[in-house]
Amino acid sequence: MAGASLLALIDDIASILDDVAAMTKVAAKKTAGVLGDDLALNAQQVSGVNADRELPVVWAVAVGSLKNKAILVPAALAISALLPWLITPLLMVGGLYLCFEGVEKLAEKFLHPPATDEAVKAATEAEKIQGAIRTDFVLSAEIIVIALGTVAERPFLSQVTVLVGIGLLMTVGVYGIVAAIVKMDDLGLNLVGKANVAARMIGRGLLRAAPLLMKSLAVIGTAAMFLVGGSILGHGLPPVHHAIEVLAGKSGLLHYLVPPLVDMLVGVVSGALALAGFEVGTRLWRRLRPS
């Protein structure tokens, strides 16, 4: 009797694990688009630091990402259970922040000269880490919410397991690839010194590709801020979302081109307005605050 009960328990556990694995696979597919943006953004965020500091910076951001998810998973479960209407407004605040960050990066690039002082560069590394962790928080929130939507009707334990699994999978995947990207030039240098002709050719190819990849990621990462942020804002505003669906149609080239173009436009305009409001608010605060 005890043996039969044990076998039944093992069978139940196996069924639950199979169910969780299937749900995790579905959730991973649905969050794949955000994963690509997360990768581009974080690779771009941690680029530009000294070569000997690249992996420590990636590690610091990865640890920060795990802390973000340790906050977001229980928060998402609690909000979903108690205040489900609050999820969309919170996501929209995060989306607006991404757009704000994107415009601020463009303003910083074109309106301010690059830093040269070593102390400023050290401060910039710390700022890069904190900026990457803040950006990761918004993208992680979207990933967690999308994953939660796929398991909303499942038992609570299954929801927790899937969200934790997705969180760990995304963190390891994103920052493992980011680490590989930022150390690509070092790998190239190592291969160039090998005796094998094929290894030297691959090494030279990596050395040529590394700077081009990092430059492209800087552009892709900033664009991803506007795309993700604009998409969150557009989906949170029913009139905008409906207008995008009407313009895009159900098939054809416009169906694929219109949504990202409109998301980009919404992201840029929203970010510019947010930055302008922030600057005006900062100046007013400086004038009105007691000396």
pLDDT tens digits, 189-243: 888 887 787 878 888 888 888 778 777 777 777 787 788 788 888 888 888 777 7
Of all residues in the chain, the percent with pLDDT exceeding 90 is: 5
252-285 tens-digit pLDDT: 677 778 788 888 898 999 999 998 898 888 888 8
Tokens of 218: 């800087």
Of 246, 256, 42, the closest CA to residue 140 belongs to 42
Looking at residue 40, what is its pLDDT?
A: 64
- Sorted by sequence, the CB contacts under 8 Å of residue 57 that are 6+ apart come out as 46, 49, 125, 128, 129
Of 127, 33, 141, 43, the closest CA to residue 97 belongs to 141
Looking at residue 121, what is its pLDDT?
A: 52
Looking at residue 5, what is its pLDDT?
A: 46
Place of tokens 């190239």: 188
Confidence of residue 12 (pLDDT cuts 50, 70, 90): very low
29-79 tens-digit pLDDT: 544 445 555 666 666 666 666 767 778 888 888 899 899 999 998 988 888
Residue 26 clears pLDDT 60, i.e. is over it: no
Looking at residue 291, what is its pLDDT?
A: 58
Is residue 230 within 8 Å of residue 91, measured between CB atoms?
no
Instruction: Check residues 45 and 168 and name the one with the higher pLDDT.
Output: 168
